[in-house]
């Protein structure tokens, strides 16, 4: 039985996120294909995610003990490390990811839990796991001149690889805010891609 961590980051009210329309379908399809797996939904706006404070750094970088699992920040890192697969759903904000998702990454990037330092540099502790990132974007960044401007996908791919997770797939719905585009068709195509991706996930 696998444990799936479904990480959602969008401030929009229920039912309004195009990104979640696609990611919820991904999860629905995944459940149909893997009914015994456990899915943990982590809606970051409903969690106590905040910017790291000065006093948090000793917990993040210091030694861990039996109490660490109950620590308000470290508990997210343990939860992350104990998952087998990750589904991240977040819209593009200002060429990257919403700040709350970056703050969450700061919570889970913890020495001794998701990565460790060795004589040869840092090593990820989450090897062999896989991730899917589902993103809705106002403009087009998957191809064409704006590709270079996109920093959310590149960032997530890089930080997940840092944790040891190099099996990382992106499903992007581009052009959702471009006047004249068939937005419903774009979402339907992304859902189709999501259903294909589930088969191998």
Query: Binding site: residue ranges?
Result: 92-95
> Cα(5)–Cα(75) distance, rounded to whole angstroms?
14
Q: Please tell me whether residue 62 binds ligand FMN under the rule CB under 6 A.
A: no
Residue closest to ligand FMN, measured at CB? 138
**Which residue, 83 or 190, has its beta carbon nearer to ligand FMN?**
190
> Cα(7)–Cα(37) distance, rounded to whole angstroms?
16
111: β partners: 115
**Which residue, 103 or 161, has its beta carbon nearer to ligand FMN?**
103
- The token pair at 134 is 């589902």
* 140 burial type by CB count under 10 A (0-12 exposed, 13-18 middle, 19+ buried): middle
**Which residue, 92 or 113, has its beta carbon nearer to ligand FMN?**
92
**Which residue, 57 or 95, has its beta carbon nearer to ligand FMN?**
95
Count residues near ligand FMN (CB under 6 A): 17
Site string for ligand FMN, 116-155 (x = CB under 6 A): --------------------xxxx----------------
Residue 105 in 3-state DSSP? helix
> Is residue 33 within 8 Å of 199, Cβ to Cβ?
yes
The least CB distance from residue 156 to ligand FMN, in Å, is 15
**Computed from CA positions of residues 146, 172, 12, 53, in that sequence, does the dihedral angle turn out positive or negative?**
negative
Return the range that interacts with ligand FMN (CB under 6 A); candidates 17-25, 35-43, 123-131, 160-168: 17-25
Binding residue ranges for FMN: 92-95
Work out whether strand 3-8 and strand 38-43 pair parallel, antiparallel, or are unpaired.
parallel
Residues at the interface with ligand FMN (CB under 6 A): 10, 12, 17-20, 91-95, 136-139, 176-177
């Amino acid at each position: 039985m696998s444990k799936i961590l479904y990480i959602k980051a969008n401030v929009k009210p229920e039912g309004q996120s195009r990104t979640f329309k696609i990611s919820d379908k991904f999860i629905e399809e995944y459940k149909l294909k893997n009914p015994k797996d456990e899915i943990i939904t982590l809606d970051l706006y409903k969690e106590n995610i905040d910017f790291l404070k000065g006093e948090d750094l000793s917990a993040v970088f210091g030694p861990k003990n039996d109490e660490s699992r109950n620590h308000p920040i470290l508990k997210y890192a343990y939860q992350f490390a104990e998952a087998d697969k990750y589904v991240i759903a977040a819209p593009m904000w200002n060429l990257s990811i919403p700040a709350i998702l970056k703050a969450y990454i700061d919570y889970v990037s913890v020495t001794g839990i998701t990565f460790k330092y060795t004589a040869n540099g840092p090593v990820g502790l989450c090897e062999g796991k896989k991730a899917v990132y589902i993103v809705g974007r106002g403009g087009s960044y998957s191809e064409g001149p704006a590709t270079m401007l996109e920093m959310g996908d590149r960032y997530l791919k890089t930080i997940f690889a840092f944790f040891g997770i190099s099996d990382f797939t992106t499903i992007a719905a581009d052009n959702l805010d471009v006047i004249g585009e068939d937005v419903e068709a774009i979402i339907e195509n992304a859902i189709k891609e999501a259903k294909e991706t589930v088969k191998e996930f």
